[in-house]
Amino acid sequence: MARTHDRVDGKQRSRFRARSLLFALMTMTLFTACASPAKRFDDTAASLGLRRQIVVGTEFQHVVFWRDGRHNRTLHVYLGGDGTPMSTGQPSEDPTPRNPLMLRLLSFDPGQAVYVGRPCYHGLTKAAGCSNELWTTARYSERVVASLAAAIRRIMTEQADRQLSLFGHSGGGTLAMLLAERFPETRALVTIAGNLDTDAWTAHHGFSPLTDSLNPITRPLLHRSLVQRHYVGERDRIVPSAIVKNAAAQLGTEAIVITGFDHVCCWEERWPQILADVTATE
């Protein structure tokens, strides 16, 4: 009888542990779902061992995340996508990217690399000077680009970096293009699903024009010595490959279409090789 009782107690304990584990998992899931996009982004950065910092641009603050790799002459600057500018037809309360793709790609980089956040992103929507135009119609405006440029220049000065390479995903690719012309020391420019022609992109999707934003396709051509790599997934429906190819041709370069890839999948697989190719040109 004692052994039977032990078996019953053992089953009860197993069921109790299973229920406790299920409850803990449900609690964690609920907590994650309730956390803001900015908080989830910070948590991802922490899990990747990245160091968070605030850097001042012009009139805005910028949240940046550092990977303290080996220091060389060229700083790698990563720029994320637009995130969620709109939600249920209204400007989002937190446009911070829900999918931190560029953080994950940065974690592969063996060199000195930094993710530079946009004005008003990463929990700063209520900061001085912020308004929802800065992540909607004016997401690539002179105010945004100038502040990013000032923040990057400050970082380069403090780190004594002489050159930089710019990496941007989606709308971050747009900003990388607009920033490259302001940094003659840029060695390489790499975009993934880069929105290189914002007018063609909004027309394709039937969106309102980004009237307060700069458009890379209308800017002066970048210097021929600058290495450009514009990647896009064959299956990308957010920034279709046709738009990227047409824009790249007008900008004096070409797009590299990757079979089987889309807007976010599966760039981690290709990134080590892309980094190696870029590093060889620096």
Q: What is the pLDDT of residues 106-153, one digit of tens each?
A: 999 988 899 999 999 999 999 999 999 999 999 999 999 999 999 999
Separation of alpha carbons 101 and 63, rounded Å: 16
Min mean pLDDT across 44-48, 70-74, 140-144, 157-161 is at 70-74
For residue 113, what pLDDT is reported? Answer: 94
Residue spans of alpha helices (H) in the chain: 2-34, 37-47, 101-106, 142-159, 171-180, 198-205, 241-250, 267-281
DSSP state of 226: S
99 contacts: CB under 8 Å, gap ≥ 6: 81, 264
Tokens coding 97: 């990217």
Separation of alpha carbons 42 and 31, rounded Å: 15
Q: How confident is the model at residue 4 (pLDDT cuts 50, 70, 90)?
A: very low
The CATH class of 35-281 is: alpha beta
Min mean pLDDT across 69-73, 92-96, 186-190, 257-261 is at 69-73
Q: How confident is the model at residue 73 (pLDDT cuts 50, 70, 90)?
A: confident
Min mean pLDDT across 17-21, 78-82, 95-99, 238-242 is at 17-21
For residue 32, what pLDDT is reported? Answer: 43
Please indicate whether residue 2 or residue 109 has the higher confidence score (pLDDT): 109
Report domain extents, the chain. Answer: 35-281
Nearest partner of 191 among 133, 119, 253, judged by Cα:
253
